[in-house]
Amino acid sequence: MYIKTGDLVEVVRGKDRGKRGEVQRVVRGKFKYGRRKGQHDPDHDRVVVAGVNLIVKHQRATGRVQTQTGRITREAPIHHSNVMLVCPHCDRPTRVNIDRSTGKKVRVCKKCGQPIDKY
Ligand SMILES: [Zn+2]
């Protein structure tokens, strides 16, 4: 997955299609069962995007711990294949090439060829 925390992404599938937001968190996928249970599964990587994939969580009071209760609207993780990185140079959702020429991985916009990360 080439999406990182702080990136601007655009949703390209689902009910929030067309929305843009900043990536707040990247959730690494896990195998849920089988021989590789618990290990990293890139097919299930997800991202939490500000203002996208909102759910209403019905939070009950639990014991004596002081927590926010009631109906809480919050973001749920969305699969990384349903969002695309927005290039800061050409302002379009794009895929990326990886440039390793400087010894550091740099993401490069496939549409305009400009680097997204710093060299
Ligand atoms: Zn670009």
CA-angle at 17, arms to 42 and 43, nearest 5° = 10
What is the distance in A from the centroid of ligand 1 to the CA of 65?
A: 48
What is the distance in A from the centroid of ligand 1 to the CA of 48?
A: 23
What is the distance in A from the centroid of ligand 1 to the CA of 41?
A: 29
Domain boundaries, the chain: 8-86, 90-119
What is the distance in A from the centroid of ligand 1 to the CA of 8?
A: 13
Give me the percent of the chain exceeding a pLDDT of 90.
Answer: 81
What is the distance in A from the centroid of ligand 1 to the CA of 60?
A: 45
What is the distance in A from the centroid of ligand 1 to the CA of 80?
A: 19
What is the distance in A from the centroid of ligand 1 to the CA of 24?
A: 22
- The per-residue pLDDT for 111 is 93
What is the distance in A from the centroid of ligand 1 to the CA of 101?
A: 19
pLDDT tens across 19-69, in order?
999 999 999 999 999 999 999 999 999 999 999 999 999 988 888 888 888
Neighbours of ion ligand 1 (CB under 5 A): 87, 89-90, 109, 111-112
- Of 100, 52, 93, 101, nearest to 76 by C-alpha is 52
- The per-residue pLDDT for 117 is 86
Q: How far is CA 41 from the centre of its chain?
A: 15
| Cβ contact 29:45 at 8 Å | yes
